[in-house]
Structure 1
Amino acid sequence: MPEYLSPGVYVEEIDAGPRPIAGVSTSTAGMAGVTLRGPYTGKPKLVTNFLEFQRTFGGFLPEPDAGVRDAWAGNPSEGGRWWLFPLAVKGFFDNGGQRLYVKRVASRHATAASGTLVHGLVSPVAGDAARGASSVELGHLIGFTGVGQRIEFFRGDDERSIHTAQVAAYDVTARRIELDAPLPAEVRAARGDYVQVGARGTERTLEFSAVSPGSWGGAVQVRVRPVVGAALPVLPDPQEGALFVTRLAEDADADAETVEVAEVTGLDPDELPADVWVLIGGARYKAQVGQPASGRVTLTFPAGTSHPEWREGAAVRRVRRGTTAGGGRTLRVGGAGRLYEDAVVQLDDGRNLTALTVDAVAGDVVTFGAVVPGTLFETDRLYLVEARVDARFTDPAGTTVEESFPNLRLTGDRSSGLVATLEGRSRLVRARTLGGLSTDPARFPVAATGAWLTLADGSDSYDTLTVADFVGEDGGSGLRTGIAALEDIDEVAVCAVPGVWSGTVQSALITHCELLKDRFAILDPQDGLDIEGIQAFREPFDTKYAALYYPWLVTRDPSSDRDVEVPPSGHLAGIYARVDVERGVHKAPANVVIRGVRLTDGIAQDVTKRHQDLLNPKGINALRFFPGLGHRVWGARTLSSDASWKYVNVRRLFLFLEESIDEGTQWVVFEPNDEALWALVRQTVTNFLTTVWRSGALAGTTAEEAFFVACDRSTMTEDDLRNGRLVCVIGVAPVFPAEFVIFRIQQKTRETQLA
């Protein structure tokens, strides 16, 4: 109870009667089957259209080798045509299905394609360069050492060497290098041409594998490239003094030892170091500052300084030092917060590129693992080196899937680490670090040859696929396989294993539905059965949680451009979903047009009325063709021997009611078990069933005729109360389908009317 301890106004929220029960969805399906690719571990994946299924699980499956095909298709008791699964999924969406959870089935002996990177320094050509060119744009300059470094150009198609040269100059920002010798032949980015520094190593650095088992992984390519995560400026030493910007007061000859500049604020020799550095025409020069005279200041260069001719008015800007030669392991860096412990950086002083590792960051002061070389200036830059992973996959239809993950750390278990990022985000590959992995940019992970690593040695191992792979194992939430994995998705209301008629698999599917008591199974018979054969196939089953449809359907296989027979369960699951959405779960999913089949002869075998006279009483639902009406579902019975549960819609209606009431009354648990709670429960359930009755799902002209709800002393004993049991008894009158429509007609004799 609330406490009122001091005077004041208290605003309180109170319950305003029964809580509403929301009806659960009945149109969500779950299927287990073999796919071309896609996630094999974890919970089933939701797809909402066939294009999404193709992107996630691949397209249509080719027919397996003759030996595998015959072993499965020729087995009447434990066989199946599991390679038709994608066509069944297409049938689901063609017939109105909107939500499907798919669990991929694979052989336990299937292996994922994999490949290993070694180490080296490779940079792709980013822009075409003609023969005779001496300037080339590259993908990056990370790991390069600067001017004087020897590099070699290779063709990307046949790996032939094009040219060997030295770097005469470079621009990290533009990713462009100048060569000391022109190119003897053109280089092209589209061909995959690249630059290599030195030889590639043999130590293994990273192992990549396809995200799931199967031969599909042989079409996956991956590469790792260094990228600049951040470009940070070197900050000037506080003791360097003020900055000045001036201009030449008169022309200066080439290699002149002195130049005259205009006097400006900050250009005072008494406040400046003995030596300063100035930037003129894009180059740095060391100079001594003279005393101002007549508005001018003389700058004197050391003997032997070489420079071009300058014109009056040319800009002269002071460049302050960030550190001096032999200045230790620390450096002030702008935006140092972007750095982190063990980060790899590359210092650029205009002529040399130096790689260092960060030990610590405190404010704008960065401590490195080695002494900072040379003298750095505020115009110099520090580049954070990180990794970028590119992966691509081209399916047999020619569709390409590409992924790119920039700014990754090669090592570490953080969320930005390469391994962790691919684990959580990539739909194509996974990675594992090996002993040869180094953070040195000059020893970056690369393929043994070329720029891309192509994964290999993946196997579907269809010859070892067994019915046990379809049944699956229960390893707990998220670790289940096969049919067992559908338990992870509470929303599933209809489930199937299309194309598999194995008694073991279908028994597992039925058991799955009977244990969970919130879903219904659609079974497929063996293909090609005659009327006697389908009756014999039906004999072992007696369950109110499944239905059987006969015969198979005929549709077009887009991958082979030919007509094939497909199992009916996928199409029927879509019809269930369509009828549920358009009419409601109480409407029998029958007398409905089957979509996605051949317009003529879309049913594999003709079923006549006399045939169905034999099938319908045994709970075998016929698929029939009627001239002028098309291909239709002509049956709505379960496989139960109990007459109370012989109709599919009645069974599914009760599943809907039970699951809705179950989920909508969870708030009752641990409430005080007294009359007030019982009344609230009665009203809550009554309100829900009234809504269901008004939708036409229950029989009766009044709500009292359609259902009753009892929850009081008459439904509970004292023993129930003492043991914490609240018992609510509910009775509902379902609407049964008009399966036999009978019109009785008789002759009427004309009678004479007498006046």
Structure 2
Amino acid sequence: MPEYLSPGVYVEEVDAGPRPIAGVSTSTAGMVGVTVRGPYTGKPKLVTSFLEFQRVFGGFLPEPEPGLRDRWAGDPDEGGRWWLFPLAVKGFFDNGGQRLYVKRVASRQATPSSGALGHGLVSQITGNAAKKATSLRLAHLIGFTGVGQRVDIVRGDDQRLIHTAGITGYDVANRRIELDAELPAEVRASRGDYVQVGERAAEQTLRFSAVSPGSWGGAVQVRVQPVVGAALPVLPDPQEGTAFATRLAATAAQDSTTVEVDAVPGLDPDELPADVWVLIGVTRYQVQVGQPASGRVTLTFPANTSHPEWQPGEAVRRVRRGNPAGAGRTLRVGGASRLYRDAVVQVDNGTTLTTRTVDKIAEDVVTFTEDLPGALFDSDRLHLVEAQVDVRFTDPAGAVVEETFGNLRLTGDEPANLVTTLANRSQLVRATALPGLSTDPARFPTPSVGSWLSLTDGGSDAYAALTVADFVGEDGGSGQRTGIVALEDIDEVSVCAVPGVWSGTVESALVTHCELLKDRFAVLDPRDGLDIEGIQAFRESFDTKYAALYYPWLVTRDPLSNRDVEVPPSGHLAGIYARVDVERGVHKAPANVVIRGVRLTDGIAQDVTKRHQDLLNPKGINALRFFPGLGHRVWGARTLSSDSTWKYVNVRRLFLFLEESIDEGTQWVVFEPNDEALWALVRQTITNFLTTVWRSGALAGTTADEAFFVACDRSTMTEDDLQNGRLICQIGVAPVFPAEFVIFRIQQKTRETQLS
């Protein structure tokens, strides 16, 4: 309790009254099945629409080759049509499902696709160029050396050489190079044409693999290219003095030794060093500054300086050196905090591109591992060289999924490291650094041909090795479970299914899963094509209040094969459960509800008549029927329990809702003092919750006292219970049972003559 040790005012918060219980969700489903791709390890993945399912797990599965298909579909005891799982997921969302946790099943022998990059220097052509053109626009100039360098121009479709030329000029800002010869043929960016410098090496630098096993990874392509992470200005040396900006005061002839400029503040030879550099146009010139006269100053060029003719008004601006002493390892850089140890920068002095590696950084002073390439000016920029990874996947339907990760570091343990970033963020690939990996831009990771690497090595679904044990799964601990067992990681799941699999082992495992956790309900699928006798025989194996069985299968359109196929009903029914829960409540039986996402005519695989259902309904087999004018409907709401107390689906699920809500809403009671005050608080907390449930129509009775009771006092606990730390609360509720049989008794009535 609080301590009051000195005089003063004490403000305290005191809990008053019962704590509210929030009803848990009952419309979240969990399904286990085979998908094209998607996460195989870890916890089940939440998807909230079929489009999201396709983006994460891929689209529809093709039917396996006949031998494998018949081995599964022809096994009456341990078989299934697992390739229909995506259609069942679509049925879930078509029928109103909103949240679905999916656990992918894959064969233990399935392997991911992979591929390795060598190294070289490649730059994509980003702009079309006509025949006889002499300039090209590229994706980057990182790793290039500048004027005089020879480059190969290659077609992107068939990898044929278009042209070999030398670079006569370049523009880093616009990523353009000028060539010393005309192009003999047009160049097209849409074709994937590119420029290559030197030869490519086969030494492996990076290995990429698909994020999950399966042949789907063969359609994944990866490209790694250098990018400019930041353009950092060179800061002038403090001894360089002030800058000035002026204009030409008179016309300057071509290659003239002097020019006249307007006198401006800062343009004073007494305050400037002996050698001054100015920028006229885009070119730097060394000049000597004369004494001002008549508002003008004469700038004198060194002998043999070449320049074009300039007109009056041409801008002249002083550029200051960042390293007046010339070559050295240190330089003041603006925004040096963007750099880091071992960062690679590209230095541009106008004619040459040079790369250097950062050794250390102290405020704005950067020290490199090698001397800088001569003098650098405040008009120069250091371009931080980093990597960009582009990933694209084209599914069988032609849809393209793309990922781009920029500003990555090839090496190092930083969060921006390429390998770490892909492991944390990519849904398509993972990367492994190999011994040949280098930060040298001229040895950047590239494929042996082209600019995209296709992950064509390995990659197998190994469907032939798929077994029922893969669906049942193994318990490796939280986040390491597989199959049905993995659904235990998600507490929110309230309805679960393994669509298309009628294996006794799998469905028994699903039922056991629900019975052990006691907070979820299973929807089972029978074998397809069963007749009335066959479905009755199939049902005989089950006796559980935690599952329901629906018959027969449904008919829908398979977009992949563009034909009608029979699909298991569990996916559609799980969606119907969710829809009814949201629209009416968990106490409403999920029956007499239209089934969506099936063929408009003959959407049910076998016709079930009333006489058929007279045999099925008493045994807990819920029929799916067609009624003219009413469509395809669910016409049954029974569990697979032999206990008549739990024969209705909605009653069983209502109690699951109540039990889970009370369990989660009363966790605060644990370790509280076990006395009358706590008992009264627990009674009031549960009473308030059940009153709300009763008012929603979930409980029978015209008054709350008729609908439920809550007892938590000396009558429910003995002294032994109290001494052993047990608080026992007894709760009774009166559920609303569905009107399964609506009976109208009609009799003839003799007309009675009334006498006035």
Residue 403, structure 1, aligned to residue 403, structure 2: yes
Local SS of the residue matching 1:468: helix
Alignment of 1:594-633 (within 5 A): 594-633=595-634
Pairwise CA distance, 1:521: 0.2
Alignment of 1:520-539 (within 5 A): 520-539=521-540
Pairwise CA distance, 1:373: 1.6
AA partner of residue 152 (structure 2): E
AA partner of residue 449 (structure 1): V
Alignment of 1:199-214 (within 5 A): 199-214=199-214
Alignment of 1:530-569 (within 5 A): 530-569=531-570
* Map of 2:144 onto structure 1: 144
* Map of 1:645 onto structure 2: 646
Alignment of 1:245-644 (within 5 A): 245-324=245-324, 326-456=326-456, 457-644=458-645
Local SS of the residue matching 2:201: coil
Contact persistence 1:324–1:374 (CA under 8 A): no
CA distance in 1, matches of 2:278, 2:753: 130
Contact persistence 1:325–1:373 (CA under 8 A): no
C-alpha distance after superposition, 1:28-79 (max 9, x if no partner): 1111111112221221122222222222212211101101100000000000
* Map of 2:672 onto structure 1: 671
CA distance in 2, matches of 1:278, 1:634: 89
Pairwise CA distance, 1:5: 4.0
CA distance in 2, matches of 1:535, 1:656: 30
* Map of 2:176 onto structure 1: 176
Contact persistence 2:339–2:384 (CA under 8 A): yes
CA distance in 2, matches of 1:330, 1:346: 15
Contact persistence 2:357–2:370 (CA under 8 A): yes
Pairwise CA distance, 1:608: 2.1
CA distance in 1, matches of 2:753, 2:122: 110
CA distance in 2, matches of 1:249, 1:60: 75
CA separation of 1:597/1:252 partners in 2, compared to 1, >3 Å: closer, same or farther? closer
Q: For structure 1, list consecutive stretches of 5 or more residues without a partner in the other structure.
A: none
AA partner of residue 664 (structure 1): G
* Map of 1:730 onto structure 2: 731
* Map of 2:34 onto structure 1: 34
* Map of 2:64 onto structure 1: 64
CA distance in 2, matches of 1:127, 1:441: 22
Residue 132, structure 1, aligned to residue 132, structure 2: yes
Contact persistence 1:413–1:419 (CA under 8 A): no
Deviates more, 1:9-18 or 1:58-67: 9-18
CA distance in 2, matches of 1:231, 1:78: 63
Q: TM-score, normalised by structure 1?
A: 0.97
CA separation of 1:729/1:373 partners in 2, compared to 1, >3 Å: closer, same or farther? same
Q: TM-score, normalised by structure 2?
A: 0.97
Contact persistence 1:711–1:729 (CA under 8 A): yes
Local SS of the residue matching 2:430: strand
Contact persistence 1:707–1:732 (CA under 8 A): yes
Pairwise CA distance, 1:289: 2.5
CA distance in 1, matches of 2:545, 2:375: 84
CA distance in 1, matches of 2:750, 2:349: 116
CA distance in 1, matches of 2:46, 2:250: 76
Pairwise CA distance, 1:267: 2.4
CA separation of 1:543/1:258 partners in 2, compared to 1, >3 Å: closer, same or farther? same
Contact persistence 1:326–1:371 (CA under 8 A): no
CA distance in 1, matches of 2:651, 2:89: 26
C-alpha distance after superposition, 1:305-329 (max 9, x if no partner): 2222333443332221111465421
CA distance in 2, matches of 1:401, 1:391: 8
C-alpha distance after superposition, 1:587-637 (max 9, x if no partner): 111122222222222211122222222222221111122233222212111
C-alpha distance after superposition, 1:347-392 (max 9, x if no partner): 1111111111111111110011111121111111100001111111
* Map of 1:233 onto structure 2: 233
Identity %: 82
CA separation of 1:325/1:138 partners in 2, compared to 1, >3 Å: closer, same or farther? farther
Residue 19, structure 1, aligned to residue 16, structure 2: no
CA separation of 1:722/1:379 partners in 2, compared to 1, >3 Å: closer, same or farther? same
AA partner of residue 245 (structure 2): V
Alignment of 1:214-233 (within 5 A): 214-233=214-233
CA distance in 2, matches of 1:560, 1:667: 54
CA distance in 1, matches of 2:298, 2:561: 85
Local SS of the residue matching 1:512: helix
Local SS of the residue matching 1:367: strand
Alignment of 1:705-744 (within 5 A): 705-744=706-745
AA partner of residue 690 (structure 2): L
CA distance in 1, matches of 2:696, 2:255: 97
Local SS of the residue matching 1:46: strand
Alignment of 1:68-79 (within 5 A): 68-79=68-79
Deviates more, 1:266-275 or 1:335-344: 266-275
Contact persistence 2:237–2:324 (CA under 8 A): no
Pairwise CA distance, 1:719: 1.5
AA partner of residue 392 (structure 1): R
Pairwise CA distance, 1:397: 1.4
> What is the aligned residue count?
755
Pairwise CA distance, 1:258: 3.0
C-alpha distance after superposition, 1:541-561 (max 9, x if no partner): 111100111111111222222
CA separation of 1:295/1:92 partners in 2, compared to 1, >3 Å: closer, same or farther? closer
Local SS of the residue matching 1:490: coil
Pairwise CA distance, 1:705: 1.4
Pairwise CA distance, 1:198: 0.1
Q: Please report the RMSD computed on the Cα atoms of aligned residues, expressed in angstroms.
A: 1.7
Pairwise CA distance, 1:748: 4.5
Residue 46, structure 1, aligned to residue 46, structure 2: yes
CA separation of 1:412/1:744 partners in 2, compared to 1, >3 Å: closer, same or farther? same
CA distance in 2, matches of 1:487, 1:429: 27
CA separation of 1:551/1:247 partners in 2, compared to 1, >3 Å: closer, same or farther? closer
Contact persistence 2:108–2:470 (CA under 8 A): yes
Local SS of the residue matching 1:555: strand
Deviates more, 1:425-434 or 1:61-70: 425-434
CA distance in 2, matches of 1:719, 1:420: 57
Local SS of the residue matching 1:167: strand
Local SS of the residue matching 1:205: strand
Q: For structure 2, list consecutive stretches of 5 or more residues without a partner in the other structure.
A: none
CA distance in 2, matches of 1:633, 1:334: 71
Deviates more, 1:85-94 or 1:490-499: 85-94
CA distance in 1, matches of 2:602, 2:249: 96
Pairwise CA distance, 1:752: 7.8
CA distance in 2, matches of 1:441, 1:102: 42
CA distance in 1, matches of 2:297, 2:741: 112
Alignment of 1:652-691 (within 5 A): 652-691=653-692
AA partner of residue 441 (structure 2): P
C-alpha distance after superposition, 1:436-494 (max 9, x if no partner): 11000111011110011111132111111111111111112221111111111111110
Residue 87, structure 1, aligned to residue 87, structure 2: yes
CA separation of 1:292/1:579 partners in 2, compared to 1, >3 Å: closer, same or farther? closer
CA distance in 2, matches of 1:541, 1:602: 27
